[in-house]
């Protein structure tokens, strides 16, 4: 896919906005549409989950504080069946709340109040990352395209399926791309900067916890093979070459 095609895809991405403050929802919808995106709006979690089951969204913008089902529970439900990119909107500025959202599966967060310019910039960046992750997977498939069996772990890159001891593991696009990169290059150490550039499609900033948070989530999901992902102090991460659980 050329850069012009990627931009075109970004501009026509379908976004689900979940925000219970009508005035803010109107402003966000207007700005997203002005930037070229298609927007579907939901005022509560129940409506949002229903809409998400009916449509193919490329991005979800999710307010933390919602009536009824709160944003975190909506996120948990989404992650039970979907790898769609999620941007959390939150008035909570405590680090523990931000980390909780990332652990549950948010891809990024924005603390209120925020400018519309920053929101649009985050949306564009997240959609670029999504495209780059898919391109990374496609490129890796072109290079090998083979099914990987590493002990209890089974990966089918073309089907985007990973399983452990025959049980499917529900992974986001980011988690799958990271797992596939590490496993298909067992023994090779990848720096955080390289991973951020390759998987997230962004420049690494010192202190960025994106890689560490994703590895933490991935380890929880990998269970019996979780210790195969090895942290190399001062460098980054690798999949242990001798790991054959």
Out of 3.40.50.620, 3.40.50.1970, 3.40.50.2300, 1.10.3470.10, select the CATH number for domain 3-130: 3.40.50.2300
For the full predicted model, state whether its pTM sits above 0.85.
Answer: no
SS3 112: coil
Query: Which residues, 6+ apart, have CB-to-CB distance to 114 below 8 Å?
Result: 89
- Of 157, 155, 159, 154, which Cα lies nearest the Cα of 143? 157
Q: Is 65 exposed, middle or buried (0-12, 13-18, 19+ CB in 10 A)?
A: middle
Boundaries of CATH 3.40.50.2300 in the chain? 3-130
Task: Give the pLDDT confidence of 86-112 residue by residue, as tens digits.
Answer: 999 987 666 666 677 777 778 888 888
pLDDT at 41 over 90: yes
Instruction: Return the H-helix or E-strand segment holding 110.
Output: strand 108-111
Distance between CA atoms of 122 and 206, rounded to whole angstroms? Answer: 19
Helix (H) and strand (E) counts in the chain: 9, 12
- 223 vs 4, residue with greater confidence: 223
| pLDDT tier, 55 (very low <50, low <70, confident <90, very high otherwise) | confident
Looking at residues 25-37, what average pLDDT do you find? Answer: 94
Q: What percent of the chain has pLDDT over 90?
A: 32
Alpha helices in 13-159 (DSSP H): 22-34, 45-54, 71-79, 95-104, 116-143
**Quick one: pLDDT at residue 62?**
95
**Quick one: pLDDT at residue 24?**
94
Check if CATH label 1.10.10.10 holds for domain 144-239: yes
**Quick one: pLDDT at residue 9?**
45
pLDDT at 30 over 90: yes
Task: Give the pLDDT confidence of 169-208 residue by residue, as tens digits.
Answer: 998 888 988 998 898 888 888 888 888 877 776 655 566 6
Instruction: Return the H-helix or E-strand segment holding 218.
Output: helix 210-222
Boundaries of CATH 1.10.10.10 in the chain? 144-239
Distance between CA atoms of 37 and 143, rounded to whole angstroms? Answer: 33
Looking at residues 121-150, what average pLDDT do you find? Answer: 71
């Amino acid at each position: 896919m050329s850069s012009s095609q990627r931009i075109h895809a970004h501009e026509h991405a379908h976004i689900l906005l979940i925000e219970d403050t009508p005035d803010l929802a109107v402003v966000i919808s207007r700005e997203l549409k002005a930037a070229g995106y298609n927007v579907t709006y939901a005022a509560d979690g129940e409506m949002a989950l229903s809409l998400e089951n009916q449509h193919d969204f490329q991005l979800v913008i999710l307010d933390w504080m919602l009536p009824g089902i709160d944003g975190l529970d909506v996120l948990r439900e989404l992650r039970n069946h979907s790898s769609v990119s999620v941007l959390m909107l939150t008035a909570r500025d405590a680090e523990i709340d931000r980390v909780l959202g990332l652990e549950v599966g948010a891809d990024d967060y924005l603390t209120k109040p925020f400018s519309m310019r920053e929101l649009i910039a985050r949306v564009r960046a997240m959609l670029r990352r999504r495209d780059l992750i898919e391109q990374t997977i496609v490129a890796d498939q072109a290079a090998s395209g083979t099914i990987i069996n590493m002990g209890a772990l089974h990966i089918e890159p073309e089907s985007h399926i990973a399983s452990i001891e025959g049980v499917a593991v529900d992974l986001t696009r980011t988690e799958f791309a990271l797992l596939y990169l590490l496993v298909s290059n067992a023994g090779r150490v990848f720096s955080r900067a390289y991973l951020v550039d390759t998987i997230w499609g962004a420049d690494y900033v010192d202190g960025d916890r994106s890689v560490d948070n994703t590895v933490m989530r991935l380890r929880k999901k990998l269970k019996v093979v979780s210790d195969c992902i090895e942290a190399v102090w001062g460098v980054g991460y690798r999949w242990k070459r001798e790991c054959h659980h």
